[in-house]
């Protein structure tokens, strides 16, 4: 899953990436 893929990044980086991914997901939906 995406969480596993980005789990290796630091918490701050993961949070920023997650926000970006969620934004794309919302726009795509």
- Say how far apart CA 24 and CA 17 lie, in whole Å: 11
Q: Given this model, what pLDDT does residue 25 score?
A: 87
Residue 6 makes CB contacts below 8 A (sequence gap 6+) with 13, 14, 17, 18
Q: Given this model, what pLDDT does residue 7 score?
A: 59
Q: What is the pLDDT of residues 1-29, one digit of tens each?
A: 566 665 566 566 777 888 898 888 888 87
pTM score = 0.47
Q: Given this model, what pLDDT does residue 8 score?
A: 63
H helices present in 1-29, as ranges: 2-5, 11-28
- Say how far apart CA 22 and CA 29 lie, in whole Å: 10
- The range of the structural domain enclosing residue 7 comes to 1-28
Looking at the structure of the chain, the number of domains it has is 1
8-13, long-range: CB < 8 A, 24+ apart = none
């Amino acid at each position: 899953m995406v969480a596993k893929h980005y789990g290796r990044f630091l918490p701050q980086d993961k949070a920023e990436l997650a926000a970006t991914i969620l934004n794309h997901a919302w726009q795509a939906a």
